[in-house]
Amino acid sequence: MLVGKRILLIIGGGIAAYKGLEVIRLLRGQGAEVVPVLTAAGASFVTPLSVSALAGTAVHQDLFDLTHEAEIGHIQLSRAADLVVVVPATADLMAKMAQGLANDMASTLLLATDKRVLIAPAMNVRMWQHPATQRNIATLRGDGVLFVGPDDGAMACGEFGPGRMAEPLAILSAISKALAPAQTPLAGQHVLVTSGPTHEPIDPVRYIANRSSGAQGTAIAAALLALGARVTFVTGPAEVSPPAGADIVRVETAAQMRAAVQAALPADAAVFAAAVADWHVDGAGASKIKKVAGQIPQLHLRENPDILAEVGHMTQGRPTLVVGFAAETDDVITHATAKRLRKGADWIVANDVRPETGIMGGAENEVTLITESGTETLPRMSKTDVAAALARRIATVLTKDDA
């Protein structure tokens, strides 16, 4: 599978850099061509000579190398590969990727590439669990970056937990999987996905919103794209970047989202993952409402359009599959089951968003899929994995309908 494949392999700084040498050896053994890039920090752990000898070619280190950069070498490197692989992906490298920084050869290649990127994270357990790293992970997953690991295990620092880099054979397997011919069961199918919160203005400065990050909806859109679907992605002001390859429509309010949904139809399936505000302020102020001592402004709320119910109860042009979400804090299954019937949805994806679950705005989710035939609770997993599971089920329904 790897014969003739060109792998751009970036070795980052960290004690796990030595495993990058074994990854090179394994890739060469499978017939792949390896183009190595060594960061300045990585060179503190493995030598350029070792990397070059195993790869059978020169190692790239300096963004301002006159020999290579006379022809804008970093652009050519970033585009000529079949896959970009980072081993190890340190917290620093992941942060640069998530923020779009490009101040050395490795980060510039990662920003300039138009190819898929697979990273093998490795760092101290506390660094992995830090909220900043978790935010970066969510962003990278939303951008379509592939992950292998990290594993739980003992670390060079003496601590134990998640953060240990995946073993070279696991990385080789992930590379092979990433380069496998794409399965496109949803080719020719149009799926509408809504995501993120809505912001309902109080005045030009303030608004009503909720804690949705948009991570789950973004992951679902990315998973559907990976299965070959054409995706229209209608997103409120989310914290994560929209998925590459989707037709992106950005909105602020529920009314704008409703109009965007109507414009996107017809669709073969519609997934309403957005956390649409239930109310908006009637007569939002055209100017900032000034604070006056002793006076509390009275906000008059009006109900927002029920986008899911409108589509679920369509009599003409209704999508084959309509999927809604139910974020609940009490009696989750009872409320979600009633919501499916009330909204006319085929499926409801229910989850418990009490603050102690860490799901709203977090990197993981635990959902129960409610359909006409019953309920299925999936184990807690990353939002990317939840999205992949839902996308596979959506593909099963749509391809069965085609048959």
Ordered by where they begin, the domains of the chain are 6-179 (3.40.50.1950), 190-402 (3.40.50.10300)
For the stretch 239-272, pLDDT in tens is 888 887 899 999 999 999 999 999 999 999 999 9
> Pick the catalytic residue: 53, 80, 157, 205?
157
Enumerate residues 6+ apart whose C-beta is below 8 A from 322: 269, 270, 272, 308, 311, 312, 344, 345, 346, 347
- Give residue-wise pLDDT tens across range 19-77: 999 999 999 988 899 999 999 999 999 999 999 999 999 899 887 664 555 444 567 78
What pLDDT score does 281 carry? 94
pTM for the structure as a whole: 0.62
Residue list, annotated binding site? 278, 288, 305-308, 325, 339, 343
- Is residue 101 classed as helix, strand or coil in its secondary structure? coil
Model confidence over 93-121: pLDDT tens digits?
A: 999 999 999 888 899 999 988 889 999 99
Q: How many CA atoms lie within 13 A of 221 on its CB side?
A: 32
Q: Is 403 a catalytic residue?
A: no
List, as residue ranges, the binding site for CTP.
278, 288, 305-308, 325, 339, 343
